[in-house]
Amino acid sequence: MKRIIEVDPWKVVETSLHPEENRLAESLMSIGNGHMGMRGNFEETYTGETHEGTYIGGVYYPDKTRVGWWKNGYPEYFAKVLNAPNVTGIRVVVQNEELDLNTWNVMEFKRELDMRHGLLRRSFTAENGNGEHVQVNVTRFFSIAHPELVAIRYEVTPINFSGTISFQPFLNGDVRNEDANYDEDFWEPVHHEVSEQAGVLTMKTRKTEFEVSAAMRTAVDGGDVSIQAMDDQEEYIDNVMDVAVTEGQPVTFYKYVAVTQSRDYDSAELADKAQGFVTEAFEKGFDHLLQEHQGAWEKRWKKADVTVGGDAEAQQGIRYNIFQLYNTYTGDDPRLNIGPKGFTGEKYGGSTYWDTEAYCLPFYLGTADPAIARNLLIYRYNHLDQARANARKLGLEGALYPMVTMNGEESHNEWEITFEEIHRNGAIAHAIWNYTNYTGDTAYLADYGFEVLAELSRFWASRVNYNSRKDRYMILGVTGPNEYENNVNNNWYTNRIAAWTLEYTLGVALFLERQHGARYYELLDQLGLSSSEFDQWKDIISKMYYPYDEEAGVYLQQDGFLDKEIMPVADLEDKHLPLNQNWSWDRILRSCFIKQADVLQGLYFLNHKFSKEEKKRNYNFYEPMTVHESSLSPCVHSILAAELGYEEKAYEMYVRTARLDLDNYNNDTEDGLHITSMAGSWLSIVHGFAGMRVVDGTLHFNPMIPEAWKDYSFKINFRGHLLKITVTHDETLIEQEEGTPLQLVLNEETRTIEAPKVATP
């Protein structure tokens, strides 16, 4: 564990510069507003170790695939989350010496993320080779009130000299992706224009032709400005502005930037739009923009905050996770999704994995308006045609959603993942169930959901094969959620979620027939569904093969799992861990060690179908072999452990989830944050410790509390009710902040939660 930040309930604070860990700090200090975001890079030049990264939602690059041996069916490209033009840069020259914390003597340094208000702040005192001292305070935010806007306040005080400080705000389109497969430049210039304290730069991505315009305006408070030069190059514009400064008197520099993109506006008006937005921002001024931004965060926290009493680390962890999720996805644009690294790094190319449905959806269901979770479903609905084409490409029926995508097409090409991790289709069906079960919005099934479900079911029906000797259906050659096994036969999770999808689809068909008859027959017609296809699905459900070991009483992760040498991770010497950094792939595949929840993922998803005893046996068998080398792993274990009464384990796994990045557990946070697994921290508290489930439209809670905590509380939006749940060691208090009286089940007893006493505005 490597911790470079302080523990604080609302902040993430780095109190000294860590040149050797700067990339890690940059990841941790990332901020965004759901539409764009960036790593915690400095505004001024830094010649030390850094990974400059700015990312804009939906703007990607189809990088040329790099594989040794091409296999039929591979996608043509590997999508890259694109490093976008640097819009926050301000070079600062103090008495002819360029400010650079790598070469200057840094006397004090603090970089902090203020999660309550959505701000990144820095303050430092540094001295150049001539002994000139400056004290600097910087505040920046990506506005959540105006999603196209970034604002920076950069205040410098000359401590021991009077003279000149030169500010050189710039927009730079000459940026590269560190992980480009062939070191190509992904951008080309379109338009640039600069004037005194203003400028606009438009760049276009090659191949995909996304255009992005950034317009800047600047202002100075506390010193006379003279413009010395204006750079106006194809991919780079700046102003060189000298400000006369007086010893001890601060000078404040403001940079406002508006970013527009061609997915939202016509290319012809892109630059004008950006200039219009930035002018408005400039006229409002920094304080006003800050107030709007902070107000919006306050409103968000009112519904989404989780408190933990008596455990500062756990408190910081959960707030950090909620904060970063909302920095990544706000749900107002159904074309966007939640990338595993959000706007904090390039690794993982592609924005959408099964992570969205399996982990993130319930978080947004609980903390935000249902329209947001619905947008996540609509995203997949809109990609149904591409998913059909994807199935066809593999010679299959129905729809196979991509493992990784930017626009509905598969954009990842490792055969064992792209072709074999087909369990992702199950998560998409499960998300439809989750959404309708939670919100009660069954109209969704008639309008959109059934089409998706029917095509998912068709896929499973064409992907299974019937083994006449055993009179069972098999699913061969797959990779389950545990990516440390490839090309296995009858992965229990995949078989189970496939059969469940068929069952659920048939259930939905029956519901539609009864409740939405006309629409139902229209859908049958449109999809060409007949009763013989339904009969085939029923046959598959009743004859699906599930590997099981009678002696241990557990579902087998796949055929032949028990042929392996079974041993717990605890018997491995530390030097072997993490396996993915110490063992050959071959050795990993042959071992019994499990990357992430697999059978247990199924027990979590289809929780109500299994007895506690069954869950216990499987948990006891698989957890000791699990190395949790996927960030998605600990939370599922925490939730199940809480349900099974394994308090210590539930707590250990919660901390591992919630502080995964803050404490750099997997030693890879420098590449970016693990955004999708952050939803797992919330799930660990709400589904895990509080035991929340929705059964037939009714909320159930079965809370426990970790010993180390004094209390915890969270809020959920549920069918027009805003509930606050507080759990202490003595009691569980459920209050209603908005809504009419609500019946729910607490510790297996039905209760009525009264409407709020004072009407909420």
Which of 346/355 has CB closer to ligand BGC? 355
- Rounded to the nearest whole angstrom, what is the least distance from the CB of residue 596 to ligand BGC in the complex? 6
**Residues 492/599, Cβ–Cβ less than 8 Å:** yes
Does residue 485 sit in helix, strand or coil? coil
Q: Is 596 in the site for ligand BGC (CB under 6 A)?
A: yes
Site pattern 190..229 for ligand BGC (x: CB under 6 A): ----------------------------------------
As annotated, the binding site includes: 354-355, 595-596
Which of 235/355 has CB closer to ligand BGC? 355
Dist. CA 22–CA 1, nearest whole Å: 16
**Residues 421/701, Cβ–Cβ less than 8 Å:** no
- Rounded to the nearest whole angstrom, what is the least distance from the CB of residue 479 to ligand BGC in the complex? 9
- Name the burial class of residue 315, with classes exposed (0-12), middle (13-18) and buried (19+) by CB atoms within 10 angstroms of its CB: buried
Q: Is 359 in the site for ligand BGC (CB under 6 A)?
A: no
Work out the angle at residue 654's Cα, subtended by the Cα atoms of residues 614 and 31, and round it to the nearest 5 degrees.
135
Dist. CA 369–CA 380, nearest whole Å: 19
- Rounded to the nearest whole angstrom, what is the least distance from the CB of residue 717 to ligand BGC in the complex? 26
Dist. CA 686–CA 691, nearest whole Å: 6
- Rounded to the nearest whole angstrom, what is the least distance from the CB of residue 487 to ligand BGC in the complex? 16
Tokens of 151: 């604002």
Tokens of 24: 């890690």
Which of 456/523 has CB closer to ligand BGC? 456
- Rounded to the nearest whole angstrom, what is the least distance from the CB of residue 673 to ligand BGC in the complex? 11
* Active-site position among 44, 112, 132, 483: 483
Which of 594/725 has CB closer to ligand BGC? 594
As annotated, the binding site for substrate includes: 354-355, 595-596
Cα→Cα distances 490→426, 427, 547, 584, 724, Å = 15, 17, 7, 25, 43
Q: Is 354 in the site for ligand BGC (CB under 6 A)?
A: yes
Q: Is 597 in the site for ligand BGC (CB under 6 A)?
A: no
Query: Distance from CA of residue 207 to its chain's centroid?
Result: 26
Number of H helices, E strands in the chain: 22, 31
Which of 161/354 has CB closer to ligand BGC? 354
Site pattern 314..353 for ligand BGC (x: CB under 6 A): --------------------------x-------x----x
What SS3 string covers 5-73? Answer: CECCCCEEEECCCCHHHHHHHHHHCCEECCCEEECCCCCCCCCCCCCCCEEECCCEEEEECCCCCCCCC
455 in active site? no
What SS3 string covers 513-566? Answer: HHHCHHHHHHHHHHHCCCHHHHHHHHHHHHHECCCEECCCCEECCCCCHHHCCC
Q: Assign 3-state DSSP to the chain and report helix, strand, coil percentages, each to 5.
A: 35, 25, 40
Q: How many CB atoms lie within 10 A of CB 409?
A: 18
Which of 44/668 has CB closer to ligand BGC? 668
- Rounded to the nearest whole angstrom, what is the least distance from the CB of residue 597 to ligand BGC in the complex? 10
Site pattern 441..480 for ligand BGC (x: CB under 6 A): ----------------------------------------
Which of 27, 676, 681, 736 binds ligand BGC (CB under 6 A)? It is 676
Does residue 466 sit in helix, strand or coil? strand
Strand partners, 202: 191, 213
Which of 603/744 has CB closer to ligand BGC? 603
- Rounded to the nearest whole angstrom, what is the least distance from the CB of residue 159 to ligand BGC in the complex? 47
Site pattern 483..502 for ligand BGC (x: CB under 6 A): x-------------------
Dist. CA 611–CA 606, nearest whole Å: 11
Does residue 233 sit in helix, strand or coil? coil
Exposure b/e, 474-505, CB count within 10 A at least 16 = b: bbeebbbbbbbbbebebbbbbbbbbbbbbbbb
- Rounded to the nearest whole angstrom, what is the least distance from the CB of residue 567 to ligand BGC in the complex? 22
Dist. CA 74–CA 57, nearest whole Å: 26
Q: Is 161 in the site for ligand BGC (CB under 6 A)?
A: no
Which of 309/578 has CB closer to ligand BGC? 578
- Give the closest residue to 32 by CA, choosing from 404, 226, 247, 293: 293
- One-letter amino acid at 56 equals I
Which of 190/600 has CB closer to ligand BGC? 600
Query: 604 to 663, contacts with ligand BGC by CB under 6 A?
Result: 630, 632
- Give the closest residue to 425 by CA, choosing from 509, 514, 366, 494: 494
How many residues touch ligand BGC under the rule CB under 6 A: the total is 12
Q: Is 355 in the site for ligand BGC (CB under 6 A)?
A: yes
- Rounded to the nearest whole angstrom, what is the least distance from the CB of residue 632 to ligand BGC in the complex? 5
Q: Is 426 in the site for ligand BGC (CB under 6 A)?
A: no
- Rounded to the nearest whole angstrom, what is the least distance from the CB of residue 348 to ligand BGC in the complex? 6
Q: Which positions are annotated as active-site residues?
A: 483
Q: Can you give the binding site for ligand BGC, defined by CB under 6 A?
A: 340, 348, 353-355, 481, 483, 595-596, 630, 632, 676
